[in-house]
Amino acid sequence: MSDTKRVTDEEALLLHSSGRPGKLEITPTKPLTTQRDLALAYSPGVAVPCLRIAEDPSLAYDYTAKGNIVAIISNGTAVLGLGDLGALAGKPVMEGKAVLFKRFADVDGIDLEVDTRDVDEFVNCVRFLGPSFGGINLEDIKAPDCFIIEERLRELLDIPVFHDDQHGTAIIAAAGLINACDITGRRIEDVTMVVNGAGAAGIACAELFCTMGVSRENIILCDTKGVVYRGRTNGMNQWKSSFAVETDKRTLEEAVAGSDVFVGLSAKGAMTPEMVKSMAAKPIIFALANPDPEITPEEVKAVRGDAIVATGRSDYPNQVNNVLGFPYLFRGALDVRATTINEAMKVAAAKALAALAREDVPDEVDAAYSGRRLRYGPDYIIPVPFDPRLIVTVPAAVAQAAMESGVARKPILDLTSYKHSLRTRLDPTADSLELILEKVRTNPRRVVFAEGEEERTIRAAMAFRAHGYGTPVLIGREEVIREQLTAMGQPNVQFEIHNARLSDANRRYADHLYRRLQRKGALLRDCQRMVNQDRNVFAACMVAQGDAHAMVTGLTRSFGVAYEEIRRVIDPKASEPVFGLHLSITRNRTVFIADTTVHVRPDGKTLADIAIGAAAKARQMGHEPRIAMLSFSNFGQTPHPNTDPLREALSILDSRRVDFEYDGEMSADVALDYQLMKRVYPFCRLSGPANVLIMPGLHSANISAKLLNKMAGGQMIGPLLIGLDKPAQIVTMGASVNDIVTAAALAAHDSLPW
């Protein structure tokens, strides 16, 4: 790998200086738009929580942001790999750490740069600031000062104190070690290991490896003066001495020979190809020096094709990246108000990371890494930072370990609900869907996956079953599906598979289809051919004949084609239109958009029917509908024949006396901006911003939904197919595995009795 920088100095400086300098700002969480808001948030209202906290200090977690704030504190004596730059020069790194806390775990980080190199002064400064925060993240402090500072602050404070340079690296490396041992067939208790680098990270890694089961006698620690052995006096301290072993080896080269594992936390070039050759079979090499590893993966592979290699760099597989640890470790610790971060919590984090790496990786993660297929094996032993499952997996494991080890002051009584709350912190769709998904888990259904030979379909079926939504049924040739499973590394997974051409149900399905189509120009043999050859028709027949509850399709054919094939078998519900519904979901708002797929130019009656169906779906998903009939015009402001159907729809809704709010015609800005609506059109009947938008035609609806999907920054679900007599959902051809699972779960939910 070239040493060429991936970013230039000018690019880095421009990012930090453009717009508002730096990488942080503070945003209020309460409104401050009226005099009353001011009176409640500040004087006189603020006096009330002050008095309550004075009576009971624990109430600070209830009335202030303390429980979600971590102080990121450094004196700048070991900034990255740059050395002692001082407190102020370390500030960009501390700001960056705060950004990572927020981005990955929704923890608010406040950076504090303490301008002293004196350990006592540093400790006193931090101890007296302690009440302001829920936790302390120490950063970029040189060894051995960092050991002393952390130890003393942990004794003085009743909140978690964590030196990430030590323990963050150790946790991620331990997760990688668990899986590397698994892949190479080793027991962690039996491995022999060399740790090169006796600073903060090296000592912490060695300590955690011992906690995980590595024998202390099987670890040889090396520093710039060679092996740390019993009896050595030069360059020693109490932390190195705890790893001194009886050995006649004196150099790194001698120590590495025959060893199973090399962990480097030292400097570029410390490991040579000759040393790699001397290691045991299937060596495990963690070359973690930054920015340049002790030896590159290319250099290792040139001499040992059986090695597993990890580095600290993002441009190689198996990156040991601290961002996999510290945000989630603190998230779990804060949520149970832990008094400390102990060894049990670190081990739990490492094991959770290792277990996650063995699971199937979502498409969204592959896409974030240039489409590289991430699959458990020698080149994927550690999850990657943009895996959305980390926010649930690691904090939940850490919180549980804190409770079991007795350091949690606020135990979590319902871990399932807690995991759901973690999902909603970063995924706005989770909260909207949870009630529906929980109902499906309580009432599992049989769902047909029509395109059963597609890899994404197979992975979605596996996830559907793993989530407890029911039984997936795959349509396709069994031998092809088995080949796909083997290629995916899942040869033993079993599914119910139906080959449309060979199924015993063919005749029954063909007769059913013939009864429907015989007066529409279809012969019996035409129906037999459709059932035999068209998986969508076959899947729809399974649902129509009661052999399954619902179906999902769409990966290999356009929406229009798939819809036409399903409609040959399944009718609309009586007196209801079939229409498409998209959900645009952001952290603060969910908006339903209809009709996005079926009706090109709906008349007034169809628009009214769509509004009723969309309102019912919104309620089913936990939202009280407020419907806006959208147009370019506001309440007759610009009379035009194109607005006539909207006004007709309003009249129909009036006559039907529906039980939801609606109004129009109105423009999109008025519908979504309630202050604008009430200021300019105070007669509007909506009591808040619209959350169901009925579009005047397919062009505007489909374009709007797709623009929002690409530009709004939230999540888009859909199109949901509403109004069929039997549940079927059609995903887009570019749908991810998660999209397919969601569509299948929603189809399953549609099959439940209301």
Cα angle 522-523-526, degrees, rounded to a multiple of 5:
80
User: For residue range 217-261, what is the model confidence (pLDDT) as tens digits?
Assistant: 999 999 999 999 999 999 898 899 999 999 999 999 999 999 999
Q: Are 540 and 554 in contact (CB under 8 A)?
A: no
Helices (DSSP H) in 64-133: which residue ranges? Answer: 91-105, 119-129
Confidence of residue 162 (pLDDT cuts 50, 70, 90): very high
Cα separation values, 620 from 113, 578, 626, 693, 750, Å = 51, 17, 14, 17, 10
Cα separation values, 336 from 94, 332, 401, 412, 556, Å = 25, 7, 10, 7, 47
Neighbours of 240 (CB within 10 A): 20
Cα separation values, 122 from 90, 117, 590, Å = 15, 7, 47
Question: What pTM, to 2 d.p., does this model score?
Answer: 0.72
- Which region, left, alpha or beta, applies to residue 702 given φ > 0 means left and ψ of -120 to 50 means alpha? alpha
Of 189-198, 593-602, 699-708, which range is least confident? Answer: 699-708
Of 14-18, 56-60, 472-476, 729-733, which range is least confident? Answer: 14-18
Q: Are 440 and 748 in contact (CB under 8 A)?
A: yes
As a whole number of angstroms, the distance between CA 337 and CA 356 comes to: 25
| The one catalytic residue among 63, 66, 91, 97 | 97
Q: Are 497 and 478 in contact (CB under 8 A)?
A: yes
Cα separation values, 220 from 202, 223, 257, 548, 594, Å = 11, 10, 11, 61, 66
Name which residue leads in pLDDT, 143 or 627: 627
Backbone angles phi, psi at 697, to 5 degrees: -165, 170
Tell which residue, 572, 536, 576, 573, has the closest CA to residue 557: 536
Name which residue leads in pLDDT, 427 or 684: 684
What is the gyration radius of the CA atoms in the chain, in angstroms? 31
Neighbours of 166 (CB within 10 A): 24
Confidence of residue 1 (pLDDT cuts 50, 70, 90): very low
User: What mean pLDDT is reported for the chain?
Assistant: 91
DSSP characters for 654-704?
Answer: HHHT-SSEEEEEE-HHHHH-HHHHHHH-TT---SSS-SEEE-SSHHHHHHH
316 is catalytic: no
The structure tokens 């051919």 sit at 529
As a whole number of angstroms, the distance between CA 9 and CA 386 comes to: 25
Tell which residue, 500, 504, 506, 524, has the closest CA to residue 514: 524
As a whole number of angstroms, the distance between CA 71 and CA 182 comes to: 37
- Token pair recorded at residue 363: 């498409």
| The one catalytic residue among 5, 42, 63, 605 | 42
Percent of the chain at pLDDT > 90 equals 70
Q: Looking at residue 5, what is its pLDDT?
A: 47
**709 pLDDT higher than 80:** no
Cα separation values, 605 from 274, 612, 652, 692, 694, Å = 80, 11, 7, 17, 13
Confidence of residue 719 (pLDDT cuts 50, 70, 90): confident
User: For residue range 615-658, what is the model confidence (pLDDT) as tens digits?
Assistant: 988 888 778 899 999 999 899 888 888 889 999 999 999 999 99
Measure the N-to-C terminal CA separation of the chain; round to a whole number of Å.
Answer: 60
439 is catalytic: no
**564 pLDDT higher than 80:** yes
C-alpha atoms less than 13 angstroms from C-alpha of 326 in its C-beta half-sphere: 32
**676 pLDDT higher than 50:** yes
Helix (H, G, I), strand (E, B) or coil at 718: strand
Q: Looking at residue 159, what is its pLDDT?
A: 96
As a whole number of angstroms, the distance between CA 312 and CA 287 comes to: 7
DSSP-derived secondary structure letter, 65: S
As a whole number of angstroms, the distance between CA 405 and CA 671 comes to: 52
Neighbours of 170 (CB within 10 A): 30
**611 pLDDT higher than 50:** yes
**425 pLDDT higher than 60:** yes
DSSP characters for 454-479?
Answer: SHHHHHHHHHHHHTTSEEEEEES-HH
pLDDT, mean of residues 500-526: 93
Q: Looking at residue 361, what is its pLDDT?
A: 83
Q: Strand pairing of 261-264 and 193-196?
A: parallel
Q: Looking at residue 273, what is its pLDDT?
A: 96
As a whole number of angstroms, the distance between CA 681 and CA 662 comes to: 14
Q: Are 402 and 333 in contact (CB under 8 A)?
A: yes
Tell which residue, 168, 176, 136, 167, has the closest CA to residue 152: 136
pLDDT, mean of residues 359-377: 76
Beta strands in 123-201, from DSSP E residues, in sequence order: 135-138, 161-163, 193-196
Helix (H, G, I), strand (E, B) or coil at 369: coil
Of 48-52, 386-390, 487-491, 508-512, which range is least confident? Answer: 487-491
